[in-house]
Structure 1
Amino acid sequence: MSKTSSEQNKALVLEAFDTLFNKRDYEAAVGYWSGNYIQHSAHIEPGREGLFNLVRSIPGTLRYEHGLILAEGDYVIVHGRFSGIGRPAAWIAADVVRIEDGKLAEHWDVLQDEATQAESKSGLPMFGNRFPA
């Protein structure tokens, strides 16, 4: 059973993501990710170092923005946008994170290129209330 609240877990994930992706403070980020971190993403090498190495390889313009965030017990799901990743389109992500002992212990993601208004069959943006510029 979880010893932390869903609200604490959501705050932990947002702080961790901001520290690594936006601030690119790898030394501080070590405090958020478990040394036994399990990575299920098809885009990221295993473990905490796999994730950190991926972020190191992305140009300095990397930016993470979060939107909807949900938590139940030790699991957090956050809907977000990764921009400045060196690709033609930003990635819209649904990241699922499991928390253990106050650290990010396991991760799954679903990634999709962000659609422009011309590409969106629904006519609605994939993230936020505006299409990318």
Structure 2
Amino acid sequence: MNQSIEEKNKILVLDAFATLFNKRDYPLAERYWSPKYIQHSAHIPPGRDGLFDLVKNAPATLKYENQLILANGDFLMLHGRFSGRGPGMPNWIVVDIVRVENGVLAEHWDVIQEEANRASSKSGLPMFGDCFGEI
């Protein structure tokens, strides 16, 4: 059975995030991000080098987990958690929006929020998955 472009792009983007943020395999990650990568995040310097340098300088404990990925053609939205940002730093719950072009990540936007813990969650529900994250 042939995969739709959306299914192919989901696999591509999840592999890219795992390769860069969790495996930190920078040579392999270069295959996933365009050399002309456009970064719209307020937290990340411009371009592919800005993103890679940010990850290189992050604690080795930094980890990305994905809960949901949606695709519409070459645009994808991921709901995820970045944990292990550093001692006493809360996890980030992030919605990443990426645009894929010619089989690589070409553009990125994000919305970032600190993860609420059980005590600070007014709804009493976790922001990610079935349980509250640990700092």
The answer, yes or no, to whether TM exceeds 0.5 is: yes
Using the TM superposition, give the Cα deviation of residue 65 of structure 1 relative to its aligned residue in structure 2, in angstroms: 0.4
CA distance in 2, matches of 1:91, 1:55: 15
Question: Where do 5+ consecutive residues of structure 1 fail to align?
Answer: none
| 2:59 counterpart of 1:59 | yes
Q: Which residue of 1 aligns with 2:123?
A: 122
Gaps of 5+ in 2: none
- What is the alpha-carbon distance in structure 2 between the residues aligned to residue 52 and residue 68 of structure 1? 23
One-letter code aligned to 1:115: A
Q: What TM-score does the superposition give when structure 1 sets the normalisation length?
A: 0.95
TM norm structure 2: 0.94
Q: Could you tell me which residue of structure 2 aligns to residue 94 of structure 1?
A: 95
Q: For each residue in 1:65-112, what CA deviation from the matched residue of structure 2 results, as whole angstroms up to 9, or x when unmatched?
A: 000110001000010000011252010000000000000000000000
Percent identity (aligned) = 63
Report what 1:39 is aligned to: 39
Secondary structure, counterpart of 1:48 in structure 2: helix
2:80 aligned counterpart, secondary structure = strand
Aligned-residue offset at 1:132: 1.7
Aligned residues between the structures: 130
List, as ranges, runs of 4+ consecutive aligned residues in structure 1 with deviation greater than 3 Å: none
Amino acid at match of 1:119: S
